[in-house]
Chain A
């Protein structure tokens, strides 16, 4: 079985640009969560979606948005990129949001 798939694996963007990160959960998993991991830190919670509805939002500005599609895949969008948005973005899926989470390998975003 395929695990959690994230794309792209790496990308470089310029300040002020917009970026879209994608996540495909494990088959059968209905919940997707997004985390930001700055170098040298633990992951920080950004969003959780379950059955296409937002179930939680971390302390991130409105430049960050997300959505979940009918097939339970998800997109994380970040507008007006700042240098401080450079990080590893991790996606985690779970069956119902309260069972164990399985993480993807992340997208490494570099903002220059």
Chain B
């Protein structure tokens, strides 16, 4: 079974600074997707960034980028120029790429990292 581990329950960052959130995962699959989701107090899970395992290039979305280390099974999220609106719970998630039976496309989440942004 796949597992996702986020070892930082809480992090804080000064406004305009850079912060990195860590995520490691365990899988025997070679093809999969990794995601970072943001969950503000409004509760809705919002997709921040997605990485396909077969792509060597790290994904970027504006101020958000990832450091994907497939061999190390590590997938960290870097937030640059942090803004007050970035304060939220951040969840790392894994999903298989290929269909191999029921439940193949389920998302497996880590326990989350609570990010606080200090003005």
Which residues in B have their C-beta under 8 angstroms from that of A108? 43
Chain B positions 1 through 40: 1 when the CB is less than 8 Å from some CB of chain A, otherwise 0:
0001000000000000000000000000000000001000
Q: Which residue of chain A has its CB nearest to the CB of B99?
A: A98
Residue interface bits A40-61, CB-to-B below 8 A is 1, else 0 = 1111110010000011111000
In the bound complex, CA of A103 to CA of B109 (Å)? 14
From residue B91, how far is it (CB to closest CB) to chain A in Å?
Answer: 5
Which listed residue (B44, B93, B104) contacts A104, Cβ 8 A?
Answer: B44
User: What's the dominant secondary structure at chain B's contact region?
Assistant: loop
Contact of B91 with A42 in the complex, beta carbons under 8 Å: yes
Alpha-carbon gap, A101 to B102, bound state (A): 17
Interface residues of B in 62-119 (CB under 8 A from A): 91, 93, 99, 102-112
B42 surroundings in chain A (CB, below 8 A): 105
Interface size on A, residues (CB 8 A): 28
Complex contacts, B105 vs chain A, CB 8 Å? 31, 33, 48, 55-56, 97-98
Contact pattern, B 37-68, Cβ under 8 Å of A = 1, otherwise 0: 10000111111001000000000000000000
Q: Are A57 and B102 in contact (CB under 8 A)?
A: yes
Task: Output the least CB separation between B114 and chain A (Å).
Answer: 10
CA distance A82 to B9 in the complex (A): 28
Given A90-B45, A105-B43, A106-B43, residue A42 in contact with residue B103 (CB < 8 A) = no
* Cβ-closest chain B residue relative to A43: B109
Docked CA distance A43–B94 (Å): 12
Residues of A within 8 A of B43 (CB): 88, 90, 105-106, 108
Bound-state Cα–Cα, A106 to B45, Å: 9
Q: Kindly list 11 other residue pairs between chains A and B, CB separation below 8 angstroms, not including A43-B91, A88-B43, A101-B47.
A: A33-B105, A42-B111, A42-B112, A43-B107, A54-B102, A55-B103, A56-B102, A58-B106, A101-B107, A102-B47, A103-B46
On B, residues with C-beta under 8 Å from A are 4, 37, 42-47, 50, 91, 93, 99, 102-112
